[in-house]
Structure 1
């Protein structure tokens, strides 16, 4: 009698991405964390290239998450978004957080932008907090001269590795929550 091989189900994690740069970062996470373990699937969903206000992004993320759940439940759900859009409409910002909580979405705020999050992966850069997108890009280029917006995961992987993720997770609580959900050590 033959034994049936049982393939364990991988846990699915939803990652709503404000733009293509965040989606590429999701692919980088899959690559780096995947070197440690293969028991997850990071479902990186492009929300709205160019961003939008936080409430609109969370509404879209909630809709995309529901669509994705037709293929099975998500073990956790996250949204990567820039903080530079916060503060223009405080009531909508509060509605975004309330909706995210209701829909089981953890917001990973990139302070103030994606490039600043990337910057904190580099040695001796964890405490850097550029005050604008332009300053964040300049600081990142200072650490990685070849950086270009929307850079593919394969190129980012040349400079951001497991050690870089560990550095960034120490100062980025939302990123740490995502890495914990993925089982990253």
Structure 2
């Protein structure tokens, strides 16, 4: 833990660099909040997580997958290797071309996390009683989210996410979600 002492010297834990690309500002805000939650609530053995967040600035799923690969390569060349690599994309647009997206990401070791059906659906799943909600459309997901968070605005700011989603919310949904999102939470030490 930063500030700990070993034989009179401070011990500085090496950051666990994890690359995470997201479709846009909403995802990168969420990921910044997740990093703050992890580093603020977990023990010293896991509390030095650094999510290298990349805003893919939207587009079609195939072009975003290619941007994620380029960004991950560039960051690794400039700053060093990543412990793991992830891309958060909306399921509603990615599912029709999922195999092609994974064919772009997989050779680079980037795991795909599908937000079902979109970012608001992923965020909704962190609220008690909504972990298994399956909104049919992004509009449905946003409407359901607004019943729990009436002042929700897109893109959300980190503080607002952090004020509404805590480590137990991440863990609760992560235990239910058997897909790549649970693996992502495990990689950063939350599960």
Name the TM-score, length of structure 1 as normaliser. Answer: 0.90
CA distance in 2: counterparts of 1:171 and 1:147, whole angstroms: 24
Aligned: 1:47 with 2:56: yes
Q: Deviations over 1:45-91 (max 9, x none)?
A: 1112xx22221111110000000002110000001110111355x4x
Shift of 1:164: 1.1
Q: 2:182 aligns with which of 159, 171, 176?
A: 176
Gaps of 5+ in 1: none
CA distance in 1: counterparts of 2:82 and 2:151, whole angstroms: 35
The alignment covers a number of residue pairs equal to 179
* 1:25-174 correspondence to structure 2 within 5 Å: 25-35=30-40, 36=42, 37-48=46-57, 51-70=58-77, 71-86=79-94, 90=97, 93-172=98-177, 173-174=179-180
Name the TM-score, length of structure 2 as normaliser. Answer: 0.87
Superposed CA RMSD in Å reads 1.7
Q: 1:11 aligns with which of 9, 12, 16?
A: 16
Shift of 1:38: 2.6
CA distance in 2: counterparts of 1:124 and 1:87, whole angstroms: 26
Match of 1:22 in 2: 27
Shift of 1:4: 6.1
CA contact (8 A) 1:120 1:167 kept: no
Runs of 4+ with deviation above 3 angstroms: 2-6
